[in-house]
Amino acid sequence: MAISDAQFKAGVFGAAGVLVLGITLVRFCGSVSLPDKPSQVVQPTGTSQDLRDQTNGSPVVYQDFLAKDASVAGLRVPTLDDMSRKLLFRTDESRQVLEVGQDAITTAGLKLTARRQDNSIVLEIENITRSDLAYHVVTEPTPKIAGCNSVTPLAHNALVIAKGEKQTRIECSWHAGMAIAVTLAESAEVLPLSAWYLNQLPPSQVGIDDRVARGHRVPKGAERCISLSSQVVRSGLENGEIRWRDLVDFYTRHRCQTYPFPATYRALASDGQRRIPAQ
């Protein structure tokens, strides 16, 4: 049915009036229900380093490292109990003088012999135990002379001696009447994977003197770690609060690429004394 212009206009104005009335009622007399605001997502706290430390501190992650490292080294995978056992340390702090041609001395599971080699005096160190040994032999030429650090060193392993093997290091250039004074000898029996871990360290990381450390060579297949000793550790070594055995005890249990030495760590005095991995 046809409608007039007047009727059409009246309809439009009527519809507009209804729409305006509805908007006004909603604005001033009611509200539109909105969906609930989503719950806030809790973000992880701490730095990325903190999160890595928390992850690496997990026994499951630690055991995974043991399995992977043992596979790379071609060794048996030690258990968590194996890595939590007290180490057998031997220590001899008596001062003993070794002369060239004199019988060897036996101390801390080691056989020590002084020899002349070309124009140098050398110390031969033999492992006489049935285990791989981490070792530390502190010496000084006698009589004391200057210039021992300038002698070209012999390549040797300054950290570990495998069972049945020996290491030879240069002590100083040769002078008539020279001998070697041994002021400290210490060793620790270590598992094969622990020896592999130690072999990746710079000797200075466990407090070995530069005169000895400069001849150290990383064994084939070992991935050398960068020295990252903290000032606290260096100070602890200098004042005697941290000892060679503390550092060796830690690094026989922890891969140096992942686990930094905690300044409060000390060698275990009994099996399972502390949680491993230590942080």
pLDDT tens readout for residues 71-109: 999 999 999 999 999 999 999 999 999 999 999 999 999
Q: Can you give the pLDDT at residue 32?
A: 47
37 found inside a domain: no
Name the token pair of 127: 């492992």
Q: Which amino acid is at 95?
A: R
pTM: 0.79
pLDDT in the model for residue 228: 64
**Residue 133 within a domain:** yes
CB contact at 8 A, 190 and 251? no
Domain range for 65 is: 58-251
pLDDT given at position 25: 46
Is residue 125 assigned to a domain?
A: yes
d(CA 102, CA 231): 42
In DSSP terms, 156 is beta-bridged to 216
Tokens coding 246: 């503390």
The total number of structural domains that make up the chain: 1
User: Would residue 49 count as lying in a domain?
Assistant: no
Within a domain: residue 47? no
d(CA 116, CA 108): 23
pLDDT < 50: residue spans in the chain: 2, 8, 12, 18-21, 23, 25-26, 28, 31-32, 34, 38-42, 44
- Is residue 77 assigned to a domain? yes
> Cα angle vertex 189, ends 135, 279, to 5°?
90
Q: Is residue 40 part of a domain?
A: no
Distance (Å, whole) CA 198 – CA 50? 25
Name the residue among 155, 153, 138 with its Cα closest to residue 244: 138
Neighbours of 239 (CB within 10 A): 8
In a domain, 260, yes or no: no
Q: Which residue type, as a one-letter code, is found at position 201?
A: L
